Structure 1
Amino acid sequence: MTPSPQIKIPATYLRGGTSKGVFFRLQDLPEAARQPGPARDSLLMRVIGSPDPYGKQIDGMGGATSSTSKTVILSPSERQGHDIDYLFGQVSIDSAFVDWSGNCGNLSAAVGPFAIMSGIVPKERIPANGTCTLRIWQANIGKTIIAHVPMTNGQVQETGDFELDGVTFPAAEVPLEFLDPADEGEEGGAMFPTGRLIDDLDVPGIGVLKATLINAGIPTIFLNASDIGYTGTELQDDINGDPAALARFETIRAHGALKMSLIQDLSEAAKRQHTPKVAFVAPPADYVASSGKAVTSGDIDLLVRALSMGKLHHAMMGTAAVAIGVAAAVPGTLVNLAAGGGPRQAVRFGHPSGTLRVGAEAVLEDGEWKVTKALMSRSARVLMEGWVRVPG
C-alpha cells in the first residue's frame, strides 16, 4: 500500500451557544462533497473522528458529546430574500452516519458571524457599527432564522458581557428569531402531529405516558418528570450513569417518533438519532446547577431536562428551547401546565447548567394554534481557523 498524503480543507472551529462545531464554506469542500451523499458524509465523519467504537473521537475534531460532534456547511443563499443557506450535520459518535434531520439552534448563533467573517455576506450588507441583521435559510428543516450580529469597527463583535448558563465566559449577545418555527407541511405534519395537545403514548415495557408531541424548532416529545420517576432537578450523571434509564428513554423516543409519523417502523429510529428529542418537565423547584450555582424556584417558571443523541444534555439544545417556548405559549400542553398554565409569551426554565429565557408568539386561528416566531439569545466565538486535514 502506497501512503497517500492528507488533504487540507479550509475550516473554522466555532462555539455557538452551548455547542461547538466545524464550519465550512460549501465552495471550499472537495468537489465530490459539495453535493449530499456518501462522499460528503464520509468526509465529515473523518473530520470529526467518527465512527469511534471507543466513543472518544480522539482522531478528529469532535469532543465525544452530542454538543461537540457537529458540522456546518454555509453558502450564499439561493433563496430569494435570504442571505445565507445553512446546512447542519449531526455526526454520530460511535456509528457511521451523519443525521441531517434537524437543525442546531445553538450553532445557529454562529452562522451569521462566520458568514460575515468568511465573505459569504457581501460587504455592502455589513454595517461598520451597530447590528448586521441577516436572514438565514435553515436548509435541514426549510425555515427562516433572523440573526442580529453585533458589529464594531467593521468587525464582528465577539466579546461582551452577555452571560449564558452552560458557557463559562461572557461574550457578545446574538439575538435570534426563529420564524414560523412549527414544522407544518414537513414530514411530521402539523405543529401537533396527532392533533392533540396531550397524547397517551403507549410504550411497551414502560406503560402509557402522558406526552405532548410537538414539531416546533425540532420535533420533541415532552413528558412529565413525575410520570417516569424523576423530579426535573436531575443533572447529567443522574441519567447518563444509568444504562437502564438511557435504554428506556430510547424506547420512549422510538415510539414517540412513530406516533409523530417521523418514522414508519421502529427500526428506523436507530438511524435518526438527532430527532425527535425527549424532554421531561416539572413545576419550579430549588436545585444546584452543575456549576454549583443555586437555582431557586422563584428564578424560574418550570424545570426542563432534555436528551440529545441518547444522553442527557448538559444545558439545553437551542432547537429544544424553541420547542419549550412554543409549547409553553399554548395553553394545555404539558410544558404550559408545568409552568402554571394560562397564556404566556415567555418562560424562564431551569436546566442542568442554570436557566434560560425563551419567548414565543402564539395565536389561535380557526381552532388551531399558530406560532409566528420564537425568540432567544445566544453568543458565538471563533475558537480556531485555518484548515482541517483528513487522510486522502
Structure 2
Amino acid sequence: MTHAPQRRIPATYMRGGTSKGVFFKLDDLPEAARVPGPARDTLLMRVIGSPDPYGKHTDGMGGATSSTSKCVILSKSEVPEHDVDYLYGQVSIDTAFVDWSGNCGNLSSAVGPFAIANGLIDPALVPRDGIATVRIWQANIGKTIVAHVPVTDGQVQETGDFELDGVTFPAAEIQLEFLDPADEGEGGGAMFPTGNLVDELDVPGVGVLKATLINAGIPTIFLNAADLGYTGTELQGAINEDKAALARFETIRAHGAVRMGLIAKVEDAATRQHTPKVAFVAPATGHLSSSGKPIAADDVDLLVRALSMGKLHHAMMGTAAVAIGTAASIPGTVVNAAAGGGAREAVRFGHPSGTLRVGAQAAQVNGQWTVTKAVMSRSARVLMEGCVRVPGDAM
C-alpha cells in the first residue's frame, strides 16, 4: 500500500491577546486551499487536529479550547486604502466544522506584526523606530481595523512591559482601533437588529430573560447574571463543569440568534458556532480572579462573563470587548445599567482573568445608535515559525 508523504506548509504560530493561532500567507497554502471551500476547511482542521472526539488536539496544533483552535490567512490587501486582508477561521474541536462567521479580536493584534515581518506591508510605511500604522481589512465581516505596532531598529518590537490579564508574561503594547464596528450586514444591518436596546427573550425551558442584542465587534447577547442565578464572579469551572448550564446557554444562544436574524431557525445554530456570543453582566463587586489576584469593586465598572464555542472564556474575546464597550456607552442597555447607567466613552470591566479597559464612541444619528470606533490595547508574540506538516492525503 502506498502512503502519501507529509506536506510542508510555511506557517507561524502566534499569540495574539489571550488567544493563539496558526498564521498563513495565502500564497503559501496549497492551490486548492487558496479559495474558500471544502479543501481549505479540511486542511485547516487537519492542521489544528480536528475533529477530535477525545477533545485534546493531540495530533495537531490546536489547544483544545476556543481560544487556541484558530487559523488566520493573510494577503496583501485588494481593498483600497488598506494594507492587508485578514481572514479568520474558528475551528471546531470535536466536529468537522470551520466557522467563518466572525472575527477574533484577540488575534487581530497579531495581524499587523505578522504582516510587517512577512513582507505584506510596504517597507516605506514601517519606521526604523516608532509606531507602524497598519490598516487591516477584516474580510469575515467587511470591517477596518487599524493596528498601531511598535517597531525598534526596523523590526517589530514584541517584548515590553505591557501587562494583559489572561496572559502570563508582559509584552509590547499594540493599540487596536475597530472602525465602525457595528452593522455586520446581518440581522437587518442595524447595531440593534430588533430595534430595541432591551428585548424580552422567551427561551423554552429557561424562561423570559431581559437581553440586549447587539451587532458591534461581534453579534452578542447580553443577559443579567442575576436572572440566570449567577453573581458575575464565576470562573470557568462553575460553568464549564455544569453540563446543564452549558445546554441552557446554547439554547439561549440559538433563540437569540433567531431573534437577531442571524439564522432562520434554532436548529441552524449548530452550523454557526462562533456567533453570536452569549455574555452575562453584573454590577461591580470585589472578588478573586482565576490567578487568585484580588479585584476590588472600585477597580471595575461592571463584571462580564462570556461564552465562546460553548464554553466560558478564560478571559474575554476581543470582539466581545468591543461589544461590551459599545453597549456600555449607550444608556438603556443591560450592560450600561450594570455599569451604573449614564453616558460614558470608556469602561473597565472584570472578566475571569482580571480586568480590561475598552473605549467606544457612540452617538445617536437620526434616531439610530451608531459607533464610530472602539479602542483597546492588546499584545502579540511569535511563538514558533517554520512549517506545519499535514498528511498528503488530508485534502
Pairwise same-fold verdict (TM > 0.5): yes
- Render the CA deviation track for 1:27-83: whole Å, top value 9, x for unaligned: 000000000000000000000000001111100000000000000000000000000
Distance verdict in 2 for CA 1:132–1:343, change over 3 Å:
same
Indicate conservation of the 8 Å contact 1:188/1:215, yes or no: no
* Match in the other structure for 2:288: 288
The structural deviation recorded for 1:188 is 5.0
Identity fraction in percent: 78
Counterpart residue type for residue 122 of structure 1: D
Query: In the alignment, is the contact (CA less than 8 A) between 2:16 and 2:107 conserved in 1?
Result: yes
1:86-133 deviation digits (Å, cap 9, x = unpaired): 000000000001000000000000000000001111212211110000
Query: What's the counterpart of residue 263 of structure 2?
Result: 263
Match of 2:219, SS state, is strand
> For residues 134 and 188 of structure 1, what CA distance do their matches in structure 2 show?
30
In structure 2, what is the equivalent of residue 321 of structure 1?
321
What is the identity, as a one-letter code, of the residue corresponding to 1:244?
A
Instruction: Say whether 1:377 aligns with 2:377.
Output: yes
CA contact (8 A) 1:188 1:262 kept: no
- In structure 2, the residue matched to 1:165 is 165
Name the residue aligned to 1:342.
342
Q: Which residue of 2 aligns with 1:297?
A: 297
In the TM superposition, what whole-angstrom CA distance separates every residue of 1:153-196 from its partner, at most 9, and x where no partner exists?
Answer: 00000000000000000000000000000025335521000000
Please give the alpha-carbon distance, in whole angstroms, between the structure 1 residues aligned to 2:381 and 2:225: 34
Distance 1:189 1:55 in 2: 36
1:29, 1:183 → 2: CA distance? 31
Tell me, in whole angstroms, the C-alpha distance in 2 between the residues paired with 1:273 and 1:186.
16
2:100 — aligned with what? 100
Moved more, 6-15 or 264-273: 264-273
Moved more, 177-186 or 48-57: 177-186
Which residue of structure 2 aligns with residue 204 of structure 1? Answer: 204
Q: Does 1:75 align with 2:75?
A: yes
Instruction: Deviation per CA, 1:322-381: give whole Å up to 9, x if none.
Output: 000000011100000000001000000000000000000011111111100000000000
Looking at structure 2, the residues matched to 184 and 99 of structure 1 have their Cα atoms a distance apart, in angstroms, of: 16
State whether residues 141 and 183 of structure 1, in contact with CA within 8 Å, keep that contact through their aligned partners in structure 2.
Answer: no
Gaps of at least 5 residues in structure 1 are: none
SS state at 2:13 partner: strand
SS of the residue corresponding to residue 46 of structure 1 reads helix
Separation in 2, partners of 1:311, 1:119:
37
1:185 and 1:22 map into 2 onto residues whose CA distance is 28
C-alpha distance in 2, partners of 1:113/1:50?
A: 27
Amino acid at match of 1:95: T
> Could you tell me which amino acid in structure 2 is paired with residue 37 of structure 1?
G
CA–CA distance in structure 2, aligned partners of residues 274 and 150 of structure 1: 31
Q: TM-score, normalised by structure 2?
A: 0.99
Q: Which residue of 2 aligns with 1:47?
A: 47
Instruction: State how 1:217-256 maps to structure 2 within 5 Å.
Output: 217-256=217-256
Count of residue correspondences: 392
Give TM-score scaled by structure 1 length.
0.99
> Once the two structures are superposed, what CA deviation does each residue of 1:123-159 show, in whole Å capped at 9, x if it has no partner?
1221111000011000000000000000000000000
Letter in structure 2 aligned against 1:363 = A
Say yes or no: does 1:16 pair with 2:20. no
Which consecutive segments of 4 or more residues in structure 1 shift more than 6 A?
Answer: none
Give distance in 2, aligned partners of 1:214 and 1:157: 35
Structure 2: give runs of 5+ residues left out of the alignment.
Answer: none
One-letter identity of the residue aligned with 1:305? R
Q: CA deviation at 1:265?
A: 1.3
CA contact (8 A) 2:14 2:23 kept: yes
2:173 matches 1:192: no
Q: Secondary structure at the match of 1:237?
A: helix
- 2: CA distance, partners of 1:347 / 1:125: 32
